[in-house]
Amino acid sequence: MSAHALDHGLEDLAATARAAMVRAVAASGAFAADPRWQQAFATVPRHLFVPYYYVSGVGGCERRWGESPDPRTRERWVRGAYEDTPLATRLRDGELLSSSSQPSLMALMLAELRVEDGDRVLEIGAGTGYNAALLSYRLGDDHVTTVDLDPEITESARRHLDAAGYHPAVVTGDGARGVPERAPFDRIVATCRLASVPRAWIAQCRPGAIVLTPLATGLVALTVRDREHAEGHFLHTPAYFVPLRGQGRPASEPVALGGVPRRARESDLFRFLLDLTRGTLDPQEAYALWEREGMPDRRRYGVTVGAEHAWAWLDEPEGPYAWPLPGSTGARLVEP
């Protein structure tokens, strides 16, 4: 039995589970910025985009798949497909290569894009194709482009999209370079982590466009001023994504935190600051700043992309605390 052709019992289970997922996502407040996305999540069947996935279990990872001969496994697969949790969909030698993101985080990101009818959207990181399907439901196939470096990922995303009845442009290529042949874009959304914001994205946007991308362990929403300039703040939520393959892959070496007080070592917000200032501040400098500024949350940080430099900052782009993103120079840090 194909995962795309469920028996009647599993179809009913999928519909019930999808409705429960949508209620949970709505209760989280993820649709608050744009409630129109709720209908997209209620309509697009996530299980078509995850014909199999991996969950951690005793002794390693358990593979759940829709074509299992065991009906109980197929039921667990359907139920798991509609849990509000990320799903690992592609592993290689124990490394996570691709996943389906947590639906509530996807909903928050899509709502924060604040799309309007007619907007052209570029998605960086095709994944399973589920996010592109949601965008296509909202905007129409012709207005959506998704790109990924791995041809196996783009091919499987295309198959999933076809099965669900959506046909956006699926491009195989380096997402850091954008997709110039499909530009200009009104929105760019990345579903993979980067070390900096590629200038190619800014150049491929119309003035006033929004670029929403993971950076460090947060999400920054930039408004494009022109082909060389964009600026904006981080959202409040933490975000953990698979790194972009190809250009712009962020460093992932662990940071030694010896000498840093325990409350900082265990703080997600402190680790965000460390990741954002990697290569500029050492842990002791970062801790002194974090404590002095009252343990700032993500919304106090922002990013500016200029013609020659890109930098992250606290509170103000031209304020006392600023750190170059990879490829830039010129940190500013005022000591107390």
Residue matched to tokens 């200009």: 184
313 DSSP β-pair partners: 302, 322
Q: 298-315: per-residue pLDDT in tens?
A: 999 999 999 989 999 999
Tell how strand 301-305 and strand 60-65 pair up. unpaired
Q: 234-264: per-residue pLDDT in tens?
A: 999 999 888 876 654 444 555 678 789 999 9
Query: Taking each helix axis from N to C terminus, what angle separates 103-113 and 130-139, rounded to the nearest 10 degrees?
Result: 40
DSSP 243-303: BPSSTTPPP-PPPP-TTS-HHHHT-HHHHHHHHHTTTTS-HHHHHHHHHHTTS--GGGEEE
pLDDT of 220 over the 80 cut: yes
**Cα(93)–Cα(329) distance, rounded to whole angstroms?**
36
The pTM assigned to this predicted structure is: 0.92
Task: Name the DSSP letter for residue 224.
Answer: E
**Cα(129)–Cα(135) distance, rounded to whole angstroms?**
10
Among the listed residues 2, 68, 98, 136, the single catalytic one is 98
Read off the tokens for 82: 């509609």
* Catalytic status, residue 98: yes
Dihedral, CA of residue 128, residue 86, residue 257 and residue 216, to nearest 10:
50
> What CATH topology corresponds to 8-233?
Rossmann fold (3.40.50)
Separation in Å, CA 217 to CA 54, 56, 188: 23, 22, 18
Q: Do 295 and 269 contact (CB within 8 A), yes or no?
A: yes
Tell me what pLDDT residue 246 has.
61
**Cα(90)–Cα(100) distance, rounded to whole angstroms?**
10
3-state secondary structure of 151: helix
- Type of residue at 137: Y
Cβ neighbors of 178 (< 8 A, separation 6 or more) are: 122, 124, 147, 188, 198, 200, 201, 203, 204
Listed in order, the ranges of the chain carrying CATH 3.40.50.150 are: 8-233
Q: 167-212: per-residue pLDDT in tens?
A: 999 999 999 999 999 999 999 999 988 889 999 999 999 999 999 9
